[in-house]
Structure 1
Amino acid sequence: MVSLPKPTNPSLVVNEKHSIFMQDAPIVEPGANKVLVHVRACGICGSDVHFWKMGQIGELVVEGNCILGHEACGDVISVGENVTKVKVGDRVAVEPQLPCGKCYLCMDGNYNLCKEVEFSSVYPHNGLMQRYKVHDERFVHKIPDKMTYAQGALVEPVSVAYHGVERSQLTLGKAAMVAGAGPIGLCTLALAKASGATPLLITDISSKRLEFAKKLIPEVTTYQIDTKKSNWENAQEIRKLFGPTEYEQPPCVLECTGVESSIITGGFVTRRGGTLTVLGVGRGDINNFPFMHLSLAEIDVKFINRYHDSWPACINLIANKVINVDSLVTHRFPLEQAVQAMEVSSDPSNGNIKVMIED
């Protein structure tokens, strides 16, 4: 009698010493209301690189071993008691958070703001850059057969952009600017186009990323930030591209980098009475914030924290080709080469947009 090999669960781990390494994680059986997912695709996010290189994002600190990854899609291979939402064999996109479900924020529908949320890949909660992961059935979402696993994984960054567009003042037929042509900026640009905002403009310091944005949305105007100019000077050059009058300036600016200079420039670009929405994650403090300029112009400044109630909508957007995200995946690695994948993702000189780990 031939015994079958014991299944292994390779995972990518980061620790408090800024090391990343592969480690075989335990395979956990799903308890009540839980499902076991075989992760088939997991994208690398800038926050994964940030946890590795910097060891923290704001108040979120890596204090020990933690498996990275929160952009995932896979197959349900086992279910616990009382699971009714999905069954074994379903293909699912994973919403990587588990709020308490009891606080006033959860009860009000703003569960992304729950202080007790367990978010995958934020220490001490292990993420999805592993072969097998148990997750709550409420936060796995079936994807149609016409969607690929990679598309299912991309629902997560699209959800970030979706929540940003929800909170912004983006309006049909009115101008909008997106700052940053990384994965979140490109997803935001695609959603802004789908939402009917026009004209559109996107900024970045990289000419290659702006060229990529132009291929994704051909009608977008691009502006390469001149690092030798002040934030005010760059803003005035951007405003010229929209037109000579205040009315032609964008009432909606979506900042997707979290970089201080980009946020300030976006504030100077925003039309009087408009909204600057910051999607990007940056340093804990910002210096030289143009407080009085924003105040006198009655410019609203908004922020986002991840997302809520976005997976079904974003699955529809991708599956029904309202937005096209396939070209965002520029590099693919098998799970066993996750360390190399992280190294590629951390080096912008190689032209990566989204690095996808597949199993």
Structure 2
Amino acid sequence: MAPSVLVDQNNLVAAPTKSQVSDRVAIKASHPNPSLQVTADHKLKSVEAPIYAPRAGEALVHIKATGICGSDIHFWKTGRIGSLVFEGDCIIGHEASGIVLQCGEGVTHLKPGDRVAVEPGVPCEHCFLCDDGRYNLCEDVQFAGVYPYEGTMQRYKNHPAKWLHKLPDNVTFAEGALLEPLSVVMNGITSAGLSLGRGVVVCGAGPIGLIAVAAARASGAHPIVVTDLEPARLAFAKEFVPSCITYQVDRTKDAQGNAQAIRALFGSREYVAPETVLECTGVESSVCTAAYTARRGGTVMVIGVGKAIMNNLPFMHLSLAEIELRFINRYRDTWPPAIACLSGGILDLKKLVSHVFPLEKAQDALHLCADTRNGSIKVLIVDEEEASL
């Protein structure tokens, strides 16, 4: 493949040297490109990353905000999530927004200066799943921040322009970074089929669970119960969505015992038990509790990411009660409606941001986020540098 042709737009970048003849053309820039990598041996490494000219169909983006996801922590600590394995060093991060600096050949819907949110998964667009519109299931997806595809915890990143979404003026970069976890929740809620006046339980009051509580409320579900082990997170959930009911998981009870206590919050009759449970932790004991919590004929929608094999799921209970145990893989076609939710005031997620770190202190941000004793909700890494090269 021939190297990308670098077009100088408004003197944003310098021309490449003649020795740069690889597929990507590196740019000599007046600003460095600090980045954070997870290494194959489970370490964090701050690296000065190269900056490349955008190829045809790409845009070069100055990343202004990136949220830390639980998967970033998981990749750092364990090196894998299911079949996704870090076999080498890789820049992490995928919840991001920024400013377009330069557009590659053929990009017409974006221009330098546009504020955008990054949809991090880039599907192949040729397989039967992509043809069917289920591009989130594409096996050849190139997902930012999952080895070997570079993520957004860096100052400058190229990304296919098709998967960059313009932000309205009233949506901040911080909110733009929250569109990715909101998209996860929107996919789960849409697939679960929440409806007006129907009860729902949200297992887990982490960032995904809290967004699920807010989105469930906006969807008209009622009543809404949110569960967690940590009283501080439940207190935040009550502040975030005052109408929700909180339940602190009792470590002395088994899954059935906790499920019985949760169902009691909905009343004593079977038909008022929660029709839908949104399981946002991925923890096996929580999934089991969710299975016993849903009413007969109900749905357990697993949104959280868990271990590869779970051995103790109550198979026959699910079977005899015809409870649907369902799953989602990321999202599809969610960015435009998610942007509309924030721009239109349907959801206000700004309170979720508990800590903000500059890009140069990204390692500190990861360490804080990894320790639950710090009480973080959503940690953002931001870059205040001017959007120029």
TM over 0.5: yes
Q: Counterpart of 2:213 in 1: which secondary structure?
A: helix
Among residues 360, 363, 369, which one is paired with 1:339 in the alignment? 363
1 CA distance for matches of 2:134 and 2:277?
Answer: 23
Among residues 104, 120, 130, which one is paired with 1:80 in the alignment? 104
Q: Counterpart of 1:341 in 2: which secondary structure?
A: helix
Q: 2:204 is matched with which residue?
A: 180
Deviations 1:137-196 (A, max 9, x none): 110000011111000000000000000001103111110010000000011111100000
Q: 1:239 is matched with which residue?
A: 263
Q: 2:50 is matched with which residue?
A: 26
Q: Counterpart of 2:317 in 1: which secondary structure?
A: helix
TM-score, normalized by length of structure 1? 0.98
Q: 2:220 is matched with which residue?
A: 196
Q: 2:10 is matched with which residue?
A: none
Query: What is the CA-CA distance between 1:86 and the residue it aligns to?
Result: 1.0
Q: 1:208 is matched with which residue?
A: 232
Deviations 1:229-256 (A, max 9, x none): 1111000001111110111111110000
Deviations 1:278-318 (A, max 9, x none): 00001011121100001000001100000000000001101
Deviations 1:40-89 (A, max 9, x none): 00000000000000110011111111000000000000000010121111
Q: 2:279 is matched with which residue?
A: 255
* 1:271 aligned onto 2:300: no
2 CA distance for matches of 1:136 and 1:176?
Answer: 37
1 CA distance for matches of 2:304 and 2:126?
Answer: 28
Aligned length: 357
Contact 1:90 1:142 (8 Å CA) reproduced:
yes
Matches within 5 A, 1:272-311: 272-311=296-335
Contact 1:169 1:274 (8 Å CA) reproduced:
no
TM-score, normalized by length of structure 2? 0.91
- Letter of the structure 2 residue corresponding to residue 288 of structure 1: N
Q: 2:350 is matched with which residue?
A: 326
Q: 1:114 is matched with which residue?
A: 138
Contact 1:190 1:323 (8 Å CA) reproduced:
yes
2 CA distance for matches of 1:210 and 1:264?
Answer: 20
2 CA distance for matches of 1:129 and 1:202?
Answer: 31
* 1:161 aligned onto 2:171: no
Deviations 1:255-293 (A, max 9, x none): 000000000000000010010000000101112110000
- Letter of the structure 1 residue corresponding to residue 219 of structure 2: S
- Letter of the structure 2 residue corresponding to residue 89 of structure 1: G
* 1:95 aligned onto 2:124: no
- Letter of the structure 1 residue corresponding to residue 351 of structure 2: S
Q: 1:40 is matched with which residue?
A: 64
CA RMSD of superposed structures (Å):
1.1
Query: What is the CA-CA distance between 1:5 and the residue it aligns to?
Result: 7.2
Q: 2:165 is matched with which residue?
A: 141
- Letter of the structure 2 residue corresponding to residue 245 of structure 1: R
Identity of aligned residues (%): 53
Q: Counterpart of 2:201 in 1: which secondary structure?
A: strand
Residue 172 to residue 5, structure 1, CA distance change in 2 (3 Å): closer
Q: 1:54 is matched with which residue?
A: 78
Contact 1:179 1:185 (8 Å CA) reproduced:
yes
Matches within 5 A, 1:6-21: 6-21=30-45
Q: Counterpart of 1:266 in 2: which secondary structure?
A: helix
Q: Counterpart of 1:154 in 2: which secondary structure?
A: helix
Query: What is the CA-CA distance between 1:6 and the residue it aligns to?
Result: 2.4
- Letter of the structure 2 residue corresponding to residue 85 of structure 1: H
1 CA distance for matches of 2:145 and 2:183?
Answer: 17
- Letter of the structure 1 residue corresponding to residue 339 of structure 2: I
1 CA distance for matches of 2:365 and 2:54?
Answer: 29
- Letter of the structure 1 residue corresponding to residue 289 of structure 2: T
2 CA distance for matches of 1:94 and 1:301?
Answer: 30
Deviations 1:83-109 (A, max 9, x none): 012111100000001100011100111
Among residues 69, 76, 84, which one is paired with 2:93 in the alignment? 69
Among residues 130, 150, 154, which one is paired with 1:126 in the alignment? 150
2 CA distance for matches of 1:7 and 1:106?
Answer: 38
1 CA distance for matches of 2:45 and 2:361?
Answer: 10
Q: 1:226 is matched with which residue?
A: 250
Gaps of 5+ in 1: none
Q: Counterpart of 2:373 in 1: which secondary structure?
A: helix
1 CA distance for matches of 2:352 and 2:213?
Answer: 12
